[in-house]
Amino acid sequence: MINNGLKIELGRRYRFAASHRLHSPRLSEDENYQVFGKCNNPHGHGHNYVLEVSFSGGIDPATGMIANLSDLDAFVQLRVLDEFDHSSLNEDVAAFRDKVPTTENLCMEIFRRLKTFPNAKLERIRIEETGKNGFEYAGGHAEEDSK
Partner 1 sequence: MVLLTRKIEFSASHLYHNPNLSAEENRRIFGKCNNPHGHGHNYTLEVMVAGEPNPVTGMVLDLKELKEILEREVMRRMDHRHLNYEVPELAGQIPTCENIARVIWNLLEPRITQGKLHRVRLYESPDLFADCYRNGASGAGN
Q: Which residues bind partner 1 (CB under 8 A)?
A: 2-14, 54, 56, 59, 61-66, 68-70, 123-124, 136, 138
Closest distance between partner 1 and the C-beta of residue 50, in Å?
A: 9
Closest distance between partner 1 and the C-beta of residue 66, in Å?
A: 6
Q: What angle (nearest 5°) sits at the alpha carbon of residue 16, between those of residues 12 and 20?
A: 135
Give the span between the Cα atoms of 81 and 127, in whole angstroms: 13
Give the span between the Cα atoms of 46 and 40, in whole angstroms: 12
- 141 catalytic per annotation: no
Q: Which is nearer to partner 1, 17 or 138 (CB)?
A: 138
Q: Which is nearer to partner 1, 51 or 100 (CB)?
A: 51
- 39 catalytic per annotation: yes
Closest distance between partner 1 and the C-beta of residue 134, in Å?
A: 11
Q: Which of 39, 52, 83, 104 is catalytic?
A: 39
- Give the CA-trace dihedral at 29, 30, 35, 38, to 10 degrees: 80
Give the span between the Cα atoms of 53 and 110, in whole angstroms: 10
Q: Which of 86, 91, 136, 141 is catalytic?
A: 86
Q: What angle (nearest 5°) sits at the alpha carbon of residue 139, between those of residues 16 and 94?
A: 50
Q: Which of 9, 83, 104, 129 is catalytic?
A: 129
Please list the active-site residues. 39, 86, 129
